[in-house]
Structure 1
Amino acid sequence: MKPKLILLSLILMTGCASTQLVGTWKNPDIVLFDAYKVLVVGMSQDDEVRIEFETQLTKKLEQTGVEAMRSIDLFDVEFTSSEKSEEELSEVEQQLLDKGFDAILFTKVVGTENRRTFRERMNKFNNLYTRFSTDYLGHQDMYYDPEYYETFNLYHIETALYCICVDKERELIWKGDFEVTEPSKVNKTIDAYIRLMTTAMQEEDVIF
């Protein structure tokens, strides 16, 4: 990862510690990639999350002068409710090419894991205990209090940019890997993710 991206990640993590950039990859044959019409695909079983994500990202693209469309406006319910073959997806890609699309921005959850951590106890952390009994009594609920720890899901999310190029395979241009802590407010988490992801792409001269 570039030093600037590491710094960027730390800055944005400070503002929203639940979303962080893990790493990026960019096609070494591509120096600068501009797109004029992008299909935004957010893969999720939760329709509300999918709509919110695709809507926010589409607006972000349009703010930069890029025409964008949500996949939810292109793929009907029947399309996403059943398994598709490679031939069917090739037909979709050709239809996109015929309609003037030149890129697909595809985001999906690639994994999740359960984490366990201490609850926030910074008020006690800085205390200087001069006696064993005081120290012990201040922390003894670690043994028996189930609320001493908190568990949460950590989602591994990937955003990939694919080029829809004439007479070429739909090649990968850029990919970003992110970690998102189980969100309490979906809208804010989506906003933080999009800001982090688009800024990372901008740093590497991809679309933004």
Structure 2
Amino acid sequence: MKTPTILPCFLLVLLLSSCSSYLTSSENVSNARNDYEKILVVGRSKDNTARIKFENSVVSQLAEQGLNGISSYAENAMVDINKKYSDSELVTLKKRLMSNGYDGVIVTNLINTEAYTDVVPGGTSTAYVPARVGRFGRYLTYYPVTTWEPDQLKSGTKYIFESSLYRLAEKAGDNLQWVGRFEVKDPSSLEKTVNNYATDLTKALVKNSISNAN
């Protein structure tokens, strides 16, 4: 007789959360999907290591979709992410980017940091334990033994990011095409975090705003 067991609910929650998406909202502001030939990827960060890893990861994810992305750190002579551009300087920058073949720009910013407390619900785990009956010394019956796991509180830091796609080829009005909000809780690995973020970002862009992906 097989011995059935029930996976505790809190373990299931942990397993599911480990592969959950960072993306919390996605909006196609322009209500259109367009082709892009060359996209500049900008990750605004004072940490150059994080910036380079993030931009490279997004560029790599775009390439997997058949899209041409270039990291902004490779274009430092053209774009200064620490500079506060005036309106006239932005017009000049846009013209310079377009003259170098860019028709799209993805910009990612950290917009807020918050403390959070989540309740991880408890659950039950049941195992069927064999019982000795009489003098035969054989396992003749099984009886259930159930254990209860209490709710647990998990506290930490939540980082809220926003990524936006701009279409430089728009001739008039705002050129914002798509905007997405992302939440990252207690990142423990820079490599894993930027790769997961880049994957979520690219999937959302291809699904909602970019039409010439594979």
TM-score (norm 1): 0.72
Question: Within the alignment, does 1:49 sit opposite 2:60 as a pair?
Answer: no
Unaligned residue ranges in structure 1 (runs of 5+): 1-12, 129-134, 140-147
Structure 1 stretches of 4+ moved >4 Å: none
Q: 2-side partners of 1:77 and 1:29: how far apart?
A: 30
Question: Within the alignment, does 1:108 sit opposite 2:109 as a pair?
Answer: yes
Quote the RMSD (CA, aligned, Å). 3.0
Asked if the contact 1:43/1:50 (under 8 Å) is kept, the reply is yes
Q: What is the CA distance between 1:161 and its match in structure 2? A: 0.5
Aligned-residue sequence identity (percent) comes to 25
Q: Which residue of 1 aligns with 2:143?
A: none
1:202 to 196, 206, 213: 206
Q: What is the CA distance between 1:15 and its match in structure 2? A: 4.8
Q: 1-side partners of 2:180 and 2:75: how far apart?
A: 24
Q: Which residue of 1 aligns with 2:62?
A: 61
Distance 1:82 1:203, change over 3 A: closer
Deviations 1:143-187 (A, max 9, x none): xxxxx8553111111111100016334511111111111200111
More strand by share: 2
More helix by share: 1
Secondary structure (helix, strand or coil) at the match of 1:206 reads coil
Q: 1-side partners of 2:95 and 2:78: how far apart?
A: 20
Q: Which residue of 2 aligns with 1:168?
A: 172
Q: 1-side partners of 2:203 and 2:71: how far apart?
A: 20
Distance 1:160 1:85, change over 3 A: same
Asked if the contact 1:41/1:104 (under 8 Å) is kept, the reply is yes
Query: If you compute each CA radius of gyration, which structure gives the higher value, 1 or 2?
Result: 2
Q: 1-side partners of 2:188 and 2:71: how far apart?
A: 25
Unaligned residue ranges in structure 2 (runs of 5+): 1-15, 127-147
Q: 2-side partners of 1:29 and 1:115: how far apart?
A: 34
Distance 1:41 1:167, change over 3 A: same
Alignment of 1:22-171 (within 5 A): 22-30=24-32, 32-76=33-77, 79-117=80-118, 125-126=123-124, 150-165=154-169, 167-169=171-173, 171=175
How many matched pairs? 176
